[in-house]
Amino acid sequence: MELCHSAGWGESTAKQNFSLYCIVILLLLWRQSMISPLGPPRPGDRVQVIDDSNEDWWKGKSQDKVGFFPANFVQRVRPGEQVWKVTQSFHGNREKGQMTVKELQICVGKSEETDGFFKLTSGKKRGLVPSKCVVEI
């Protein structure tokens, strides 16, 4: 299943928005007072982006609910990528390209294992994480 494609709204906009209908994964849980009708969101939940014209808050759909969520709390999932949850913390060695991760952290990347590591992304962090420390969700 393709997770991202551009939407054809038939409206002209100043900024062409290719992220419409992209799937994103919540990386963090935000405070209860900020929960929209999408809630209660949990790290790892998938949200279909409907509108990302505001750089701080995006509009999305999860199951049958539509609401807003903080844009900096999500990670895009591109075609061919899987979502991973860290099952045990790992302190990475930056010189070897490894990424430090904490238990229950959400990461995104392909399931191409090399020497016991996956190349994953979590927010703005990117690096190698041992395959034994993550499980696909």
pLDDT value at residue 45: 84
pLDDT tier, 10 (very low <50, low <70, confident <90, very high otherwise): very low
- Alpha carbons 69 and 56: distance in angstroms, whole number: 8
Domain presence at residue 126: yes
* Entry pTM: 0.73
Residue 8 resides in a domain: no
Q: Specify whether 99 is located in the same domain as 127.
A: yes
* Distance of alpha carbon 123 from alpha carbon 106, whole angstroms: 9
What's the pLDDT tens digit per position in 53-110?
A: 999 988 888 878 888 888 888 888 988 999 999 999 999 999 999 999 999 999 999 9
Query: How many independent structural domains does the chain possess?
Result: 2
**Is the pLDDT reported for residue 5 higher than 70?**
no
State which residues form the domain around 40.
23-77
Task: Identify the CATH number of the domain in which residue 50 sits.
Answer: 2.30.30.40
What pLDDT score does 72 carry? 85
List Cβ neighbours of 58 (8 Å cut-off, separation of 6 or more): 24, 49, 50, 51, 52, 68, 69, 70, 71, 74
What DSSP designation does 21 have? T
